Amino acid sequence: MKKYLLIMVALVSWGAGMAAEVAFSVMVYDKRNREPISGAEVKIVDMNSLRPYTQTSSDSGIARFELNANARYRIDVSKDSKGSATVFLTYSYVLTDKELNAGRIFEVELEKVQRNNAGMIPSTFFDYKKTELNSDNLAVLDNAVAMLKQFPTLQIEVGVHSDCREALDIVSLRVLNVERFFADKGDMAKRVTVRNYGKAKALNQCDCALSIPCSEAQYFENRRAEFKIIAF
């Protein structure tokens, strides 16, 4: 009986140490026409171990992975457009636990460069009343750096915003930290303009002066850095 119990305890302990795996699929589309993109490189990086998992999207635009359900990942999607008059911008995004374990296909839209269009690089969002760059911010800014390296004539604007509850000096320090991030990257900083928009361009009805109640999710979407292609 004692041996049986010991074996059971060992099995439970071994099973508890195993990482639960989850099937995760990515569908890559062309944003303009929603057509699947084949041959796109889909790379998912474990943000703790930095281990990359790379697949190429199929003819139907699908790439499939087996991932640790408890890990934190960044997904990077790119499409080599050498020899083409148009190019797809690289997509970079930090997956949430909910998205990783949702059991649904994660959709990625790749967009071709258009002059003076905003939103080519996904926005990144700041923690409330925090000025330092968090891991999500750094992942998106690293993606912007990769794009600047890939396209030597590319120029971008980074618009830094706050929610209406935050003091003016908070967004000013965020701007300074974004500027320092690019300054550390050398000459490419000359191709980046960082602007302080404060609370002037809220994405929703949030307005503290008018005492309009907002959810935390609405405040969160206003605490953002937006990217705009200003020259290519």
Tens-digit pLDDT profile for residues 118-164: 445 788 999 999 999 998 899 889 889 988 887 888 889 999 999 99
Residue 69 located in a structural domain? yes
Cα distance between residue 93 and residue 140, in whole Å: 7
List pLDDT tens digits, range 55-82.
Answer: 999 999 999 999 999 998 988 888 876 6
Give dist(CA 207, CA 163) in Å, integer.
Answer: 9
If asked whether residues 48 and 92 sit together in one domain, one would say: yes
Which among 112, 134, 168 is the end of a domain? Answer: 112
Residues 200 and 123 in one domain: yes
**Per-residue CA distances from 161 to 120, 128, 129, 135, 156 (Å):** 17, 12, 12, 18, 16
The answer on 163 and 78 residing in a single domain is no
CATH number (domain holding residue 182): 3.30.1330.60
Q: Are residues 98 and 146 in the same domain?
A: no
90-118: per-residue pLDDT in tens? 787 778 888 999 999 999 988 775 433 44
The total number of structural domains in the chain stands at: 2
Residues 104 and 215 in one domain: no
Residue 55: give its domain's CATH number.
2.60.40.10
Domain boundary among 85, 112, 139: 112
Question: Residue 147: which domain range?
Answer: 113-232
**One-letter identity of residue 221:** E
Q: Parallel, antiparallel, or unpaired for β 124-125 and 224-231?
A: antiparallel
pLDDT in tens, 181-206: 999 998 889 999 999 999 998 888 88
Q: Is the pTM of this model over 0.75?
A: no
How distant, in Å, are the alpha carbons of 58, 92, 199 from that of 107? Answer: 14, 12, 31
CA gap 232, 178 in Å, rounded: 21
With beta carbons less than 8 A apart as the criterion, state whether 203 and 219 touch: no
Q: Same domain, yes or no, for 158 and 61?
A: no
- The residue out of 94, 112, 130 marking a domain boundary is 112
